[in-house]
Structure 1
Amino acid sequence: MQNAKDTFYVTLRNRLATVNPNRTVVIRAVTRPGILIEEAEARTAELPLDTFVFRWTKLAVDTELPAVLAQLTCEIHYATAGTQTNGGLDRGRALEEMDNELLQILCPASTAKMNYTQAPPAQMGTCIFWSQAVFTPTTITRERLGRVATVNVFAFQEQGEK
């Protein structure tokens, strides 16, 4: 399952760098595209603003097929307070911009599965694919507008894969 999770993350991270190279986040003094995996980062009281945060929440496995098919649920959390230039009064537009970026990076909804535990990464024998995003209503917390988009990621388990 880890190869599918890594592939989904790296694919969307690379697509975001193309769609909006200005959407970045600084983590441990390193600037990178504005996507992070919650389970791979230190815990924080609040999720970072203007960043897509992936949270893996569910796993289902179908063993009735010739190959085991895993379904992983990814919640993509994001929030914004707008820009300082506009005193945060553009936070609705900023959230809509993030919605549109997410829709763009989710298409096309498949890619070759990769093994990122080696250098260079190796292409595996199957692809991963994912559902359309299901968006929650906007949440308001003080100056922040936020949303969660849920995507189901599917991957066939390959021989020798854990």
Structure 2
Amino acid sequence: MQNAKDSFYMTLRARLAIISPERTVLLRGTLRPGILVEEAEAPTALLPSDVFVLRWLGLGADMDLSSTMLAEECEILYSTCGSQAFGGLDRGRMLSTMDEEALAMLRPFHAPKSNYSVQPATTMQTQVFWDEPTFAPINIQRDRLSRSIKVMVYSYQEQGE
């Protein structure tokens, strides 16, 4: 499932760079699109603000098909404190903007599956696809608004995976 997870992340990252090129994050001295995978970064007490964070949850498999289909739930977390220019009073608008960006990143609900463990990455034979997102209610913690989205990501297992 690692190839599917990597492909899902890289697809969302590329789409975010087009949809909202100003949404970036500085990680390990490199400016990147503002999306990261929690398990691939150093642990922090508080998730970064104004960035999308992918968290992988449960894994399942359907082995009754001609090819094994794997599914893993992805939670996309994001939060904002608003902008300094407005003293944080625009945090609702900023969260709504991130809601719209998240929806745009997820459409269309499929992408080619690639193997990113080799350089350059190689395109595989199947696709990664996912369900429509389920939005959780807004969470308010003092000056921070946050939300999470859950998406089931599916992929057929290919030979050698």
**1:78 corresponding residue in structure 2:** 78
Shift of 1:27: 1.0
Aligned residue for 1:46? 46
**Post-superposition offset of 1:142:** 1.2
Displacement, 1:30? 1.1
Structure 2 Cα separation of the partners of residues 113 and 29 of structure 1: 28
What is the number of equivalent residue pairs in this alignment?
161
Q: Residue 148 of structure 1: CA displacement? A: 0.4
Cα deviation for residue 29 of structure 1 reads 1.4
Residue 92 of structure 2 aligns to a residue whose secondary structure is: helix
The question of 1:150 aligning with 2:160 is answered no
Q: For the residues of structure 1 that align with 2:55 and 2:88, how far apart are their CA atoms?
A: 26
**1:128-156: CA deviations, max 9, x gaps?**
10011100000001110000000000000
**Alignment correspondent of 2:10:** 10
Q: Normalised by the size of structure 2, how large is the TM-score? A: 0.99
**Deviant stretches of 4+, over 3 Å:** none
Match of 1:127 in 2: 127
Matches within 5 A, 1:51-130: 51-130=51-130
**Letter of the aligned partner of 1:100 in structure 2?**
E
**Equivalent residue letter for 1:119:** Q
- Alpha-carbon distance, 1:17 to partner: 0.2
For 1:30 and 1:45, how far apart are their aligned partners in 2? 21
Deviation, 1:83, is 0.3
Structure 2: how far apart are the matches of 1:40 and 1:67?
29
- For the pair 1:26 / 2:52, whether they are aligned, the reply is no
Instruction: For residue 120 of structure 1, report the CA deviation from its aligned partner.
Output: 1.2
Instruction: Kindly state the Cα deviation for residue 119 of structure 1 after the two structures are TM-superposed.
Output: 1.3
Flag structure 1 segments of 5+ consecutive residues without an equivalent.
Answer: none
The 3-state SS of whatever aligns with 2:86 is coil
Counterpart CA distance in 1 for 2:111 and 2:139 is 31
2:64 alignment partner, SS class? coil
Per-residue deviation, 1:159 = 0.6
**TM-score with structure 1 setting the length:** 0.98
1:73-100: CA deviation from partner (whole Å, max 9, x where unpaired)? 0000000000000000000000000000
Shift of 1:118: 1.1
Instruction: Give the aligned partner of residue 160 of structure 2.
Output: 160
